[in-house]
Chains A and B, each alone.
Chain A
Amino acid sequence: MARIIVITSGKGGVGKTTTAAAMAMGLAQRGHRTAVVDFDVGLRNLDLIMGCERRVVYDFVNVINGEANLNQALIRDKRCDNLYVLPASQTRDKDALSKEGVGEVLAQLGESYDFVICDSPAGIEHGATMAMYYADDAVVVTNPEVSSVRDSDRMLGILASKSRRAEHDEEPIREHLLLTRYAPERVARGEMLSVADVQEILSLKLLGVVPESQAVLNASNAGVPVILDSESDAGQAYADMVARYLGEEIPMRFLESGKKRLFSRLFGG
């Protein structure tokens, strides 16, 4: 039975899809059969970030509606045999996601995969609640600024009360905090919340800190999950985060501006 991981945030533009792509690729590279599902019906992006936009035939909504079977809709990643992408429909809206339909698709995926990653849309409406409903783990992606932190807090509340696990009184969803677009020099200048500030407000286990990096934009434009850019700071941060998720103890990196400058000088990242 697969572990279902939702990548969520509440706020948009914080790096959910980048994180979903990177984490899925990271888990797959380590030999785990992984499927990544785009829940952002109507605004699909994951296919672009994964670089498979030109191979989309059927999508998630087709599968829910029985117009295609799951294997027809899943796209195998060309770089890693263990990774499959289930794209969202661009022509429908989120009402096409029914609780039963999503549950069935995730249950089917669960039979043949080790990890199913759900890339949640922004907001706390239907699409986002569908993405998190069946989750076993949640990665809450947060930027170090107050509105993102508050939205994440709200999303954590929803995870704790409206998920299947909450409704069935099971062990709650395991929540992890991922801080993205972290700029240590701006933290040092007092322009940005620090890791400690965010952790104090959210009181959550920190899974990783991904520094603000040009590599992320470059990777998105190229359709390559940033984790494959192993020389970049962001790529390394995501690799660390995947390792931590799998239970390895790895010290946090990229928290100091000095180190970042060193990496910038060495790798131009």
Chain B
Amino acid sequence: MRVPWHGLACIPDAALPIPRVPAAPRFSIPPAATSPPVPSFAPTNPSGAAGSGQAARPLNPSFEMKAAAFTLPVLRLLALDMDAVAEELAARVEQAPGFFRNTPVVVDLGALTEAEDAVDFPQLVGLLRGLGMIPVGVRGGNAEQHQAAQAMELAILADVLKSRARAGSRPAGTETSETEPADSNGAANLSSGVDQTVSLITRPVRSGQRVYAAGGDMTVIAPVSSGADLMADGSIHVYGPLRGRAMAGLRGNKAARIFCSDLQAELVSIAGHYRVSENIPAELRGRQVQIFLDHEVLRIDPL
């Protein structure tokens, strides 16, 4: 019942364009949440300078500065042999060219802790650009590697997932392809159709619609049809029949829960632990329930 939680990998039967990796991969591409630090433009001076801060702001600003989180593919380097990486990557790109074209990519150095040698960033960046990708930054790695990366104008990204002991802690090679089915439509679908910032949904969610509450909870006060997908980084509340899929804790928040007043779902999932309709006990169907993770086990309790 355990499936990887990042990206849309928790959809078990989604059509996945990326084939399985070779037996001994030199890299893997799990999509990962990367939140580049965005400077805050709020007055930070505690000595009561708020007034001067306001005065300095023009009346008709020509831009707004906002923070946003993006899901990017991460190229996790498992070896330093760039020629081997080039060969495997080219083969992979050939299998799903649309997925990689103009895609921003983050290079994860977390698996290279033992390596003494410096990563050949000029060659790597050239390789990625040559295959149509846009290398934007690196994650993990040591100071020398960071310096080399910055020389190639790559950003050093905060390793937000390090605390979850995910990146870098697993021995190289155990991370198999099941962790990387980054549905090439996934990211696009997340943003299409439905406004990401709205987390209260008052109209019926119809078959074929996907609604994603980025970074928070979602409340639906309308029916959710069979064939519709609800996704939230936090919890999901549905006041109405839930006939579609509900995926809470999309980015791995195990404390997320699903609450619904009429459970008829096709699939429910929390942080990647899922159950399909077939495995939901018949006596809970149509009931008011909460769904949560209890020691890595998905539980459905009547309310």
Contacts and interface: CB of A to CB of B under 8 A. Distances in A.
Contacts, number: 41
B209 interface: yes
B203 A153 contact: no
Interface stretch (A70-78, A81-89, A154-162, A235-243): A154-162
Contacts of B204: 156, 160, 203
Interface stretch (B117-125, B162-170, B218-226, B271-279): B218-226
B203 A172 contact: yes
Contacts of B207: 150, 153-154, 157
A201 B225 contact: yes
Contacts of B227: 150, 153-154
Interface in B231-275: 241, 243
A153 B222 contact: no
A162 B206 CA distance: 13
Interface residues of A, number: 13
The range of chain B's interface size is 10 to 19
Interface in B175-211: 193-194, 203-209
Given A150-B227, A153-B227, A154-B227, A160 B206 contact: yes
B209 A157 contact: yes
Main SS at interface, chain A? helix
Nearest to B205: A157
A157 B243 CA distance: 15
Nearest to A203: B223
Interface string A142-186: 000000001001101110111000000000100000000000000
A125 to B, nearest CB: 13
Interface centre among B207, B209, B225 (most CB of A within 10 A): B207
B262 to A, nearest CB: 11
B10 interface: no
B8 interface: no
Given A158-B208, A160-B206, A153 B193 contact: no
A158 B208 CA distance: 8
Contacts of A160: 203-204, 206, 209
B214 interface: no
Given A158-B208, A160-B206, A153 B225 contact: yes
B109 interface: no
Interface string A228-267: 0000000000000000000000000000000000000000
Contacts of A172: 203
B209 A161 contact: yes
Nearest to B195: A169
B78 interface: no
B188 to A, nearest CB: 14
Given A150-B207, A162-B193, A157 B223 contact: no
B228 A157 contact: yes
Interface of A: 150, 153-154, 156-158, 160-162, 172, 200-201, 203
Interface of B: 193-194, 203-209, 222-223, 225-228, 241, 243
6 contacts: A153-B208, A154-B206, A157-B206, A160-B209, A172-B203, A201-B226
User: Which 8 pairs of residues, A with B, have the shortest CB-CB distance?
Assistant: A157-B206, A153-B207, A161-B193, A157-B209, A154-B207, A154-B208, A153-B225, A156-B206
